[in-house]
Amino acid sequence: MEFFRVEQTDGIAICTIVNPPMNYLVGGMAAELGQLIAELAADRGVRSVIFTGGVAGKFITHASVEELAPLTADPEQFRQTGADALAAYHALLSGLQRLPQPVVAAINGDCMGGGFELALACDFRLAAMGPYLIGFPESRMGIIPGAGGTQRLTRLIGAARALEVMLFGNVYAPDEAARLGLVHRVVPEHDLMGIALDWVRQLAKQPPKALAMIKRAVYEGGESDLEHGLAIERECFVEVMCTRDAQVGLQAYLDMVRRDPMEARDRFLSGQALPRYTGE
């Protein structure tokens, strides 16, 4: 791949985004991302995923304005083709969000516009401390976030704050982004990948089907009314209860409780004594 370096170790896929010097999001990168998402979805050996920037000070700066600007030259043509092009990119990031594995965006530099939209499609956003910016500056250029940003950010932080970010075209330093809920937490730059790896290693020990079903219930159910969300939860619960991992996990906990209930509370429920889950 030209724009992604992918390393796999111990069930973790680290996907590094590389398009120097600015790490702009370009059409070729989107095409490769679609291929990468399909490969990750099909690989049962991958238990968790990290996306991070491979250019100093850049996660993904934003979408390439050099590619966007010519689209305004023929408005009638864009009226005919633009919605379909955007639908394809929406499907791409929805595919990222639907990956069965937990996905962490380890944000290590500028993460605006299309780059922030990619990060929003990940399950977790960890941000390094540093002199860079996170947010949606699109309105300052006469456009709007068009790759899911208006929808995912609103669902994440609520309409009032999302409007403040997008109408003003605001971009934020990492600490302010965390205060507003745009990222989960900010960590020292030299600790970013270590903490991201700690998170995904812990997640990789969890039963993968249970994690996939939690993601489905949260994302699909959270975007519907309560009754439909509960129906999705029922489907997910039944499906996961029929797995071998559920049998193994419940029995392992029951055995530990029979030996020592407090040990079960302290060790099993804190993740120190989990059985080996296989995804079956």
Which amino acid would we find at residue 212?
A
Residue appearing with tokens 């049962």 = 44
CA neighbours within 13 Å on the CB side: how many for 82?
13
Q: β-strands 103-107, 171-172: how paired?
A: unpaired
Q: Catalytic amino acids?
A: 117, 138
Burial class (CB in 10 A: 0-12, 13-18, 19+), 235: middle
Are the C-beta atoms of residues 37 and 96 closer than 8 Å to each other? yes
What the block records as the tokens of 113 is: 């516009």
CA distance 126 to 106: 5
- Among 153, 111, 105, 104, smallest CA distance to 132 is for 111
Distances (CA, A) of 267 to 121, 258, 270, 271: 33, 14, 5, 6
What the block records as the tokens of 137 is: 């500056």
Which residues fall within 8 angstroms of residue 172, CB to CB, at 6 or more apart? 133, 134, 135, 180, 182
Which amino acid would we find at residue 26?
V
Task: Give the DSSP letter of residue 132.
Answer: -
